[in-house]
Chains A and B, each alone.
Chain A
Amino acid sequence: MERGLGSTVCLAAPLNISASKPSMIYGYHLAFSNELQDEHTPNTIKISPSDFIDSSTCFNIQVYQNNQEKNVTLATDRVFDKPEIGQKWFFQVEDTIEFMWETQSGKISYRFLAEATEDIFRFWLYHIVLPIYFSIGEVYKFLHAGAVEIEDKSVLFMAPSHGGKSTLTDYFIQRGHPLITDDKMATFEREGVYYAVPAHPYHRPFRTVEVLGHLCENPSTQIHPIHAIYILEKSAPDAQITIRTLKGIEKFSRLHEGGEMNFSFFTPQYVSYLAGLANRVNVFAITVPHDLERLKEVYTVITNHTLQLQG
C-alpha cells in the first residue's frame, strides 16, 4: 500500500469555530474546542484544531475523486482490517482539510489547508467524516436515504443517485415534517428494533459542490424506530402511483443497493444487519411519476399509507 498522504500547504487552524451552529449531530454533542482534552464525556465528540497531523505512518486505504470534485484519501496506521481501539485514521481532502481520529476515541482533530473555510469544514465533518467515524467505530450502520418524521414516525426514502430522494424529502420538509436526514441515514438495532438517528439539520435539495446546505428550521430531535422504508421507482409522468410490498431477496437486494459506508472489513456484519432490518421493517416500492407537479399526489399517497401501517 502507498504510504503517507503527501505534502500539503497548511494554514493556522481557526481559533474559534462559531458556537452558534447546531451542536447535536447523529445523536452526539459536538464540542468544538481549541485543545483536545483527555477526559471523555459520554455522547460527546470533541472537535479540535491541530497545527500538525502526523500522517507519516499511515497506509492509504482509498484514494478517489469524490463527487465534490476533490481528491480525497482515507488512510490508517496499520494494515486495513477490522478496526481496533486506538487505531489512527486520517481523512484528507486535497488542498482543503485533514482530519484525524482514533477508533471510538470521542475526539477528532482537524487541520485547515489552503482552500478551507468554516462552512467547507463543517460540510466535510457533517456529511462525510462523522459517518465514517461512526461506521468505523461500529456505532451506527448507514443507509443512503432521505428521511422525515410523519406524525412522530421515522420514514425513509431510498433510491439510486438522482432518483428523487432529496426532492421528495424537501417536499415533506416544506410541509412541516421534521427532517431526519437528507442523505446519510444513521441506524442502529437494539433488542430487535431498528432505529433512525437524526443526522444534522442541513438539507441540500440541489447538490452543489462542498455546500453544507440550507439550515432546516424543523429538524428532528428524537430517535424513533424506523416505521417504513419507501424505495422510489421513477415512472412516466402520467403513470399511476402504486405501492407494493417488497419481500425476500428483492427486498434485501434493494436495501443493499442503498448501503452506505459499507467498508469491506465489515461486510459480513453489514449484510447480517441488513437482513435483520429487512425482516423487521416494512419496505415498499412506490412508483413516482417523473413530474414535479404530481409530488403532492406522491406526498399524499405516502402519508396516508404510512399512517395506516401498524406500529
Chain B
Amino acid sequence: MNLESRYTIPSTVLLQCIDDETLLFNSSNELFFALNEMGAVMWEMMSKSHSLQEIFDEMVELFEVDNSVLSNDIIAFANTLAEQGLLSFETKV
C-alpha cells in the first residue's frame, strides 16, 4: 500500500456520532470502532475521496507536519481500517 492506492468504503460500513465520539459500525460483522479526533477528520476526507494521495494533499495544506510523517500516518491508518474490513483497496493487475 502507498499513497497512490485507491480504495472504496464498503456499503456495510456506517458512521455514527454519539455524544462527542465518532464510531464506525461494520454491519457485516457487527463490530464497532471508535475514531479519535484525527481519525474522524481522516475518515471524513476518505469518505469524499478515492485515493490516499488526495487525502495527503488535503491534509498537508491543513496541518504543519513533516510530509513523511503524514504519509506514514495516513498509510498506517488506512492499513488498520483495511484489516478490519472498513476499507477495500483496489488491486492493481
Contacts and interface: CB of A to CB of B under 8 A. Distances in A.
B27 interface: yes
A272 interface: yes
Contacts of A253: 32
B14 A248 contact: no
B23 A248 contact: yes
A247 interface: yes
Contacts of B27: 267-268, 271
B34 interface: yes
Contact of B23 (A249, A267, A268, A279): A249
B1 interface: no
Contacts of B20: 248
Contacts of B34: 248-249
Interface of A: 247-249, 251-253, 256, 267-268, 271-272, 275, 278-279
Residue in A249, A251, A256, A278 whose Cβ sees the most chain B Cβ within 10 Å: A249
A212 B25 CA distance: 36
A268 B25 CA distance: 9
A30 B20 CA distance: 43
Contacts of B18: 247-249, 251-252, 275, 278-279
Contacts of B30: 256
Nearest to A248: B21
A249 B21 contact: yes
Interface residues on B, range: 10 to 19
Q: Please indicate which of the listed interface residues B17, B21, B25 has the most CB atoms of chain A within 10 Å of its own CB.
A: B25
Contacts of A272: 14, 16
Given A268-B27, A271-B27, A279 B14 contact: no
B21 to A, nearest CB: 3
B19 A271 contact: no
A251 B16 contact: no
A42 B18 CA distance: 36
Contacts of A248: 18-21, 23, 34
Contacts of B23: 248-249, 252
A252 B20 CA distance: 12
A268 B27 CA distance: 8
Contacts of A279: 17-19
Interface string B29-46: 010101000000000000
B14 A271 contact: yes
A275 B18 CA distance: 6
Given A252-B23, A271-B25, A279-B19, 12 more contacts: A247-B18, A247-B19, A248-B19, A248-B23, A249-B32, A251-B18, A251-B19, A252-B18, A268-B14, A268-B27, A271-B14, A279-B18
A278 B23 CA distance: 13
30 contacts: A247-B21, A248-B19, A248-B20, A248-B21, A249-B18, A249-B21, A249-B23, A249-B34, A251-B18, A251-B19, A252-B16, A252-B23, A252-B32, A253-B32, A256-B30, A256-B32, A267-B27, A268-B14, A268-B27, A271-B14, A271-B16, A271-B27, A272-B14, A272-B16, A275-B16, A275-B18, A278-B18, A278-B19, A279-B18, A279-B19
